């Protein structure tokens, strides 16, 4: 812009210099020459008018060009000095959602090991036998028979020194997790219905700045579980927006912050259920 203005000013200066310094007989537009040439002639002739008004018209044209260029340049500077408008995130289409989920895998409980009872001290009981041999082994006393049971074998291990074998305790049986249903009689619902959910998402979701600058549009498909108490958990992206992980992260963040839903029901009883929610990032 500055170069154009400089050229215009230079041309104007040269024209003015030629007008004021070359007003002589050789100058075609010289008023003195025109008066002599067209003396006693029809001055209404076109050549006379053209020569007489040439310099004035040239100056008017040059001034008009300078004024137009100056006005355009001033308007350009004014527009450039104005603050830039803040680009607001475009509204998003949140009208689609369905219910679907993969089947739940069954978990078998670990086997339970039986505990082995401690070993008991016993003495072998023999039936009486008639013999002529002399018995040299004295019979057991009453004190030695305390805490001893009769058996077919003798177990002479002292109980106070006997340590029963260590048996690993079976881990506690964990309660089986609640099943998550794919199909329910009554679908889980956001409190207030679809319109309230759309308003919540529109208010909370912020269109990523990188997506706005690059003009990225697309749809993020989310899958999550609505618990029996209505809590949202296990939010996953099943298919994200192409080339925009920021869009997927923003959609997950907002869904996780949702208030408690009305759980899905089977037979009038609240159950856990999967819920698929597509979030459409689109410029309107």
- Tokens at residue 232, please? 């949202």
Structural domain includes residue 159? no
Q: In the listed set 81, 105, 133, which residue is the last one of a domain according to the structure?
A: 81
Helix/strand/coil (H/E/C) assignment for every residue in 145-214:
CCCCEEECCCECCCHHHCCCCCCCCCCCCCCCCCCEECCCCECCECCCCHHHHHHHHHHHCCCCHHHHHH
Q: In the listed set 81, 116, 146, which residue is the last one of a domain according to the structure?
A: 81
**pTM for the structure as a whole:** 0.43
Q: Using pLDDT thresholds of 50, 70 and 90, give the confidence band for residue 115.
A: low
Q: In the listed set 44, 66, 81, which residue is the last one of a domain according to the structure?
A: 81
Q: Which domain holds residue 23?
A: 2-81
Structural domain includes residue 127? no
**Chain centre to alpha carbon of residue 273:** 23
Structural domain includes residue 122? no
Q: How far apart are CA 280 and CA 240, in angstroms?
A: 10
Structural domain includes residue 125? no
Question: Taking phi first (over 0 means left), then psi (-120 to 50 degrees means alpha), and beta for anything else, what does residue 243 get?
Answer: left
For the chain, what is the domain count? 2
Structural domain includes residue 137? no
Structural domain includes residue 21? yes
pLDDT in tens, 7-57: 667 766 766 666 666 555 556 566 656 666 666 666 665 666 666 666 677
Structural domain includes residue 143? no
Contact 226, 275 (CB under 8 A): yes
Question: Taking phi first (over 0 means left), then psi (-120 to 50 degrees means alpha), and beta for anything else, what does residue 232 get?
Answer: beta
Q: How far apart are CA 214 and CA 266, in angstroms?
A: 46
Structural domain includes residue 57? yes
DSSP E strand boundaries for the chain: 122-124, 149-151, 180-181, 218-226, 232-239, 264-266, 269-281
pLDDT in tens, 127-179: 666 666 666 666 666 666 666 666 666 666 554 555 556 666 777 777 778 89
User: Tell me, what CATH number does 274's domain have?
Assistant: 3.30.1150.10
């Amino acid at each position: 812009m500055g170069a154009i203005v400089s050229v215009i000013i230079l041309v104007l200066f040269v024209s003015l210099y030629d007008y004021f310094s070359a007003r002589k007989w050789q100058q075609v537009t010289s008023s003195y020459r025109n008066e002599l040439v067209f003396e006693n002639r029809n001055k209404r002739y076109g050549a006379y008018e053209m020569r007489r008004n040439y310099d004035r018209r040239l100056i008017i044209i040059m001034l008009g060009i300078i004024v137009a260029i100056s006005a355009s340049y001033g308007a350009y500077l004014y527009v450039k000095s104005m603050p830039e408008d803040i680009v607001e995130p475009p509204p998003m289409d949140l009208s689609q959602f369905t219910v679907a989920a993969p089947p739940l895998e069954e978990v078998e409980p670990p086997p339970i090991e039986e505990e082995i009872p401690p070993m008991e001290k016993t003495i072998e009981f023999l039936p009486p036998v008639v013999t002529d041999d002399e018995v040299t082994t004295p019979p057991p006393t009453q004190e030695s028979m305390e805490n001893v049971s009769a058996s077919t074998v003798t177990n002479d291990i002292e109980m106070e020194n006997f340590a029963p074998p260590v048996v690993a305790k079976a881990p506690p049986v964990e309660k089986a997790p609640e099943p998550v249903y794919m199909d329910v009689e009554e679908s889980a619902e956001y409190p207030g219905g679809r319109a309230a959910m759309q308003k919540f998402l529109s208010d909370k979701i912020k269109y990523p700045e990188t997506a706005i600058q690059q003009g990225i549009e697309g749809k993020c498909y989310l899958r999550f579980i609505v618990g029996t108490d209505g809590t949202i958990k296990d939010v996953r992206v099943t298919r994200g927006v192409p080339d925009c992980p920021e869009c997927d992260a923003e959609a997950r963040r907002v869904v996780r912050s949702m208030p408690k839903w009305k759980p899905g029901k089977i037979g009038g009883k609240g159950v856990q259920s999967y819920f698929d929610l597509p979030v459409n990032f689109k410029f309107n």
